[in-house]
Amino acid sequence: MRVHPVLLVLGAGACLAPAVARTPTPVAAPPTSTTLVYADQGAAWTDDKRTLWDNVDQGSQLMPLAWLAALKQDDGKPFLEGSLARYGFVPQKDAAHYHDLPVGFTNVSSSQGAMVGISCAACHNRDLTVGKTTWRIDGGPSFNDFMPFVLDLDRAATRVHDDPAAFEAFAKSVLGAKAGDAEAAALLRTDFDLWWIRFHTFIDKSIPRDQAWGPSRMDAISLIYNRLAGLDVGPPPTYLIPENMQVGHAPVRYPFLWNAYRQAITQWTGFAANGNTFYGLTRNLGEEYGVFGTFHPQATTATFSILNRNYLIDNSANMKGLVAAEDVTKFIGPPKWPWGVDAALAKRGEAIFNRPRGEGCVRCHGVEEGTSEQGVPDTWKTPVVDVGTDRQAWNVIDREFKTGSMQGATLQGLVPPLKEKDQIILLVRAAVVGAIAEDQKARPQLDAQAAQIVDPAERLRKLSLDKLGLDALLVKSAVQAKLGFGPPGPPPLVQNGYEARVLRGVWAAAPYLHNGSVPSLAELLKPASQRVKAFQLGPEYDPATVGLASKQPQTHFTLHVTGCDDLLSGNSNCGHEYGTHLPDNDKRALLEYLKTL
C-alpha cells in the first residue's frame, strides 16, 4: 500500500481519519424566478465600485480553480453547479465569465495556476425577496450557509483522497493533456494530499456536529483563531497543531458594512479599534487569514528592527487589495427603504427614538462623535453595552494556544515575547501588525525615525495616528516601551457587552441581535419571553414586521433559539428589552421611523 509522504508526517492515525460527519443542515435551493433590482445605496455607489467590491483579491487561497472545477457533489454533478447558490452565495451576473464562481469568490494567478479565494463580499452581500422582486443589498449580511458549504467541500475532497477511481477522474480533469503523465499525476497526488490533510483537519476540528449555524451566521472568530493557531505555526510541511483548534460554538450574524469605517471600535464584542486605514487593514488582514490565506512566518534577525519574524516570506496577503476593499466600502451607503412610508407616523417614531432615556434608542444608537482615545478623529461613538444577550461569543475572545514557530515572537511595545503557551489574541496581533509593518515601504525611514528620538516624551506627544498611520503606531509603541508605560492597545473590554451601532439601514440587516436570534424588528420590540422560539432563516422579507418572512422556501432552515435560562447556547434570544413596554401604536411609529434610516 502506498503511503503519501505528507501523511507520514502526521502518523497512521491521521492517514485513516474519517471524513467529517455532515451536520444535516438544509442548504439553499436556487432562487425562484424574480426580477433583480439593486437597492438605492447612494449616488456614490456606482457600478464600477460594485464590480471592484465583488471581485477584489485580498490574498485568500482556498484551492486551485482546476481542482474546485473537478470536484463532484454526492450525486456526481459538478461541485460548482449553479455558482454555489444552493449554499446562499450570490451568483455573478455573467456566471460563465467568472467560471461559475459567485460574488466574493476570487480567481487570481499563482504558482499553482489560477487560484480561488474568498473575499469580504462573499459574506457581506445579500438579496431580499418580496413577491417577484429581489433586492440586492451590497454590504449587507449574506444569507450564505457557510457550514454545509465547507462540510460538503470536505466530503468532495475526501472522496478524491480516499477513492482511487475518484482521484483518477479528478486527475484527468485537472491535468488535461498531461493526464497520462505518471510524474504529473504523482505530483498532483502529493500536492492534493497536503492540501487535503490541512483542510480536512481544519473542518474536522472547527465545525460543530451538534448545532448548525444556519444561513447568515458563522463563528468567524473561532475560524480565524483555528486557522492561525492550528494551520500556520506548526512544523512543515503541514504546519498543523491540531490541538490548538476548538469547535466553533459561538455563531454571530454577519455585520452590515455601510458606515463601518466610521465606527470608533468594531467587532461584535468591541475588541478592535477602528476608524482609519491602518485599523481597517488590520481588520481585513485578520479576515483574510481566516478565509484560507497562506501564512507561515519564520524566525529571523534580518527584518525590520522591531520585528524578529519574517511575516511575509510565505504570506499570500494582497495588501493593496485589502486596502482597496476597505476604501471602496466607504462608498457603500445604507440602503433606502424601497416601499412606501407613512411620513406622519415616522415623525412620531422619530420622537420616540430620540427620547434620551427609558424607551428611547438614541443614547446607544444615535450619531455621536467618537472619542479621540484611539487617536482617530471623525468617528462615530460605538458604545459596547451588556444588555443581557447571549454570552457565548465572549467565551472565544481569548484562549491559550501552543505558540509553535511563533514562540519568542515579539512586536516591541505591542506584543511581549510569546511563551510556549500564550494568549491567542497576542498571536493575532503579531500576525496582523507584523505583516503590515514588514510590508511598509517606508520601514527604513521608520527605523531612522525611531533611532533619532531625543526627547521620547515630547516625541510621543507629537505623534498623530491619523496623520502618520502605521509609522506613528509603531514608533509610539517603541517609545512607550522605553518609557515604561503601556502601548496604544485595543479599547477596554466590557464583559458580556456587544457593540451598539448607528442604525442607518438597519431595516435590511435582519435577523437581529449579535447572534441573529430574533427574526424582525417587530419581534425585537417584544419582551424576550414572548419572542418566537423558532424561525426560518432566509432571504424572503416581510416589510410589515421589518424583518424575515415566516416562510423561507429558498432555505427551509429553522433556527431553534433558547431563552434567558441559557445564555451560553450561542442561540439565546434574551436581552435588549428596550421599547418592549411601549404601547402598540408607539411601536408601530418607531418601526416606521426605523424604515427611514
Question: How confident is the model at residue 82, as a pLDDT?
Answer: 94
Q: Which of 275, 212, 215, 216 is CA-nearest to residue 247?
A: 212
Question: How confident is the model at residue 278, as a pLDDT?
Answer: 77
Instruction: Give the containing element (helix H, strand E) for 63.
Output: strand 63-64
Question: How confident is the model at residue 574, as a pLDDT?
Answer: 98
- Taking the chain (597 residues) in runs of 10, the rounded mean pLDDT of each run is 36 35 44 84 95 93 97 97 95 88 93 92 96 96 97 98 98 93 96 98 96 95 95 96 96 95 87 80 88 90 70 88 89 97 98 87 88 61 93 89 94 86 92 82 45 45 38 49 45 85 96 98 98 97 98 92 96 96 97 98
Question: How confident is the model at residue 555, as a pLDDT?
Answer: 86
Burial level of 164, CB count in 10 A (0-12/13-18/19+)? Answer: exposed
CA distances 37 to 41, 129, 547, 564, Å, are: 12, 10, 18, 39
Phi first, then psi, for residue 547 (nearest 5°) are: 175, -160
Hey, how many other C-beta atoms are within 10 angstroms of the C-beta on 504? 18
CA dist 435 and 50 (Å) reads 28
User: Are 388 and 513 a contacting pair, CB within 8 Å?
Assistant: no
133-138 and 35-38 beta bridge pairing: parallel
CA distances 104 to 152, 304, 324, 406, 445, Å, are: 19, 34, 14, 31, 37
The domain locations on the chain are: 5-258
Provide the sign of the torsion angle of the four alpha carbons 575, 579, 583, 584, taken in this order.
negative
Question: How confident is the model at residue 532, as a pLDDT?
Answer: 98
Question: How confident is the model at residue 440, as a pLDDT?
Answer: 65
Question: How confident is the model at residue 488, as a pLDDT?
Answer: 47
Q: 471-487: per-residue pLDDT in tens?
A: 445 545 544 444 444 34
Q: 391-439: per-residue pLDDT in tens?
A: 999 988 878 999 999 999 988 777 899 999 999 989 998 998 888 877 7
CA dist 597 and 369 (Å) reads 18
Question: How confident is the model at residue 376, as a pLDDT?
Answer: 55
CA dist 365 and 361 (Å) reads 6
Strand, helix or coil for residue 299: strand
Phi first, then psi, for residue 116 (nearest 5°) are: -90, 135
Question: How confident is the model at residue 31, as a pLDDT?
Answer: 56
